[in-house]
Amino acid sequence: MRLIRTTLAVAALAAFSSPILMAPALADGPAAAPRYTSPAAAEPAVAPSPSQAPVRAGPIQPTAETASAAPRTGQIALANGAAQLNVPAGYLFYGPAEAQAYLQRTSAAAPRGEVLGLLAPAGTRPESADFWGSVITYEPVGRVMPEGAALLTSAEMAANTRAARQEAGRGFEGFVAQPAFEPGAASLAWAERTAPDAPAAKNLRHEQRLLGRYGALSFVTIGRFDQFDQIRTSAPTMLQMASFPSGQGYNDFNASTDQTSRFDLAGLVTGKESATAQAASEAGGATPTSQGFAGSGAGIQGYFPWIAGGVVALAALGWLLLGRKKPKPDDEDEAPAQA
């Protein structure tokens, strides 16, 4: 009898403990996705799923280099070492706070990814009416494949971009420079007018993407339409200041281990996933978030009810089997009365 009672006590304890152990996970919601770590420190498992557009990279704590309020030149690490910038004389790099302030002053839509800083020609201040600069961001979206480059110059590209901008609540007056991909430099560039002409209106948006093995570094230049020639001339020079660490460039891609992006080249312009990725999502395909970022504890917690149920079932089976035999008195039972 002692063995049976002990077994039932253990079963009851397991049944009651499983919801208690699971309570913190249920109260906190799904496990949070891990913060992005530069591949220089560790090979990323799976980048955050861009199943929702636009995708925003995980929060990046500014390093001592990028957090400085004073404008700088020279070598500057970006996104915890995921990319770097070499700013020569004649240009200045401002920190993330200045870049955010510039976006607010110009009422410009925030670029995709986490804002890392602002790059601009020296000689004017961000508060000046004549100032223009490039807001730099980084997105660990995986390697954007070069297939589909023909879509950039197709007749429907402008219409698709206009529809995407309207959906996002942004203005689009047409392309000033048609999207173009440079395979040798692994870069994508285009320019668009965001609003009709008006005095001092910051209605020009010139965008460049430097593609790497694990993501894309963005240069989004905000200025006036009458500054287009200056911006277009300086844009290639500014992009050449950026680079990825050794082994993390676009051509270092390893198809057997690396993640490909859910965005194609046209999707980087419109902010929409590729047709293939959208079809997979609609078909209920697994996403990187559900596979890689659910948290190991969540999977283990799911087995507690089954373990508890199994213990209870075994205890019940043992009771039935032992109950058919003549019970023997336990040590603590009273001895039978003497005749």
Is the model more confident about 16 or about 229?
229
**Residue 271 pLDDT level (bands cut at 50, 70, 90):** very high
Give the rounded percent of residues in the chain with a pLDDT score beyond 70: 61
Strands (E), the chain: 74-78, 83-87, 91-94, 114-121, 133-139, 175-182, 187-193, 204-211, 216-223, 242-243
Domain regions of the chain by residue span: 2-30+294-323, 64-291
Nearest Cα neighbor of 182 from 161, 208, 156 is: 208
Environment class of 200 (CB within 10 Å of its CB; exposed 0-12, middle 13-18, buried 19+): exposed
Strands (E), 194-318: 204-211, 216-223, 242-243
Q: In what order do the strands lie in the sheet with 175-182?
A: 91-94, 114-121, 133-139, 216-223, 204-211, 187-193, 175-182
* pLDDT(306) > 60: no
288: preceding bond cis by omega (within 30 degrees): no
Report the range of poorest mean pLDDT among 58-62, 194-198, 245-249, 275-279.
58-62
What tens digit of pLDDT does each residue of 232-242 get?
A: 999 999 999 99
Report residue 182 as tokens: 């440079």
Looking at the domain 64-291, which fold is it?
Protein Transport Mog1p; Chain A (3.40.1000)
**Residue 265 pLDDT level (bands cut at 50, 70, 90):** very high
**Contact (CB, 8 A) for 124 and 131:** yes
Averaged pLDDT, 140-151: 92
Averaged pLDDT, 78-86: 96
| Distance of alpha carbon 105 from alpha carbon 270, whole angstroms | 24
* pLDDT(61) > 80: no
**Residue 37 pLDDT level (bands cut at 50, 70, 90):** very low
| Distance of alpha carbon 211 from alpha carbon 267, whole angstroms | 13
Averaged pLDDT, 31-45: 42
Buried b (16+ CB within 10 A) or exposed e, 152-172: beeeebeebbbebbeeeebeb
Give Cα 267 distance to the centre of its chain: 15
pLDDT at 84: 96
